[in-house]
Amino acid sequence: MANIGVLQEWFDRVDSDKSGNITAVQLQRALAVGNLQFPITIVQQMVRMYDFDRNGTMSFEEFVALNKFLLKVQQAFSDLERDRGFLVPDEVYESFDKQKDGRFRLDDLISLCIFVQSARNLFNSFDTSKQGRVTLDLNQFIYCTANCRI
């Protein structure tokens, strides 16, 4: 993981209002500086995934957890991309190729991982018996579809 001091400096720069928390919009802008272009919906899912206190923003500790996840995905991407800077459709599921150019970039892979992790977390919240099966009524289904979109 990156040096905690470096992460704190980065977080402090992104936290422009010095609230101790960053919003999805602030995170989106900061990720774009690092050449990771995400739609706001993906960044909002990132925040929801790591917003452990459920206040709608990301504290430094929550950001550190997100950073750990992003570094793992980045390492997996690096292991597959063969110095090309992208993956080809044969290596990944084509529907996450956001630019539809036959190349799967790091931000595309992160989007896929965010979707899968969010879907798993949502499923697990309904699978209280841990049997790998759930039954949803219409309201629960609508809630799920609203909270697991890319």
Q: 22: which DSSP letter?
A: E
d(Cα 103, Cα 87) in Å, to the nearest integer?
Answer: 6
**Domain harbouring 88, CATH code:** 1.10.238.10
pLDDT tens sequence for the chain (150 residues): 458 999 999 999 999 999 999 999 999 998 888 888 888 988 998 998 899 998 999 999 999 999 998 888 888 888 777 788 887 766 665 566 667 777 777 888 888 888 888 778 888 888 888 888 888 777 777 777 666 554
- How many structural domains does the chain have? 1
pTM of the model as a whole: 0.68
3 state SS of 15: coil
Q: Are 66 and 7 in contact (CB under 8 A)?
A: no
Domain extent at residue 44? 4-147
DSSP string over 92-121: S-GGG-TT-SS-B-HHHHHHHHHHHHHHHH
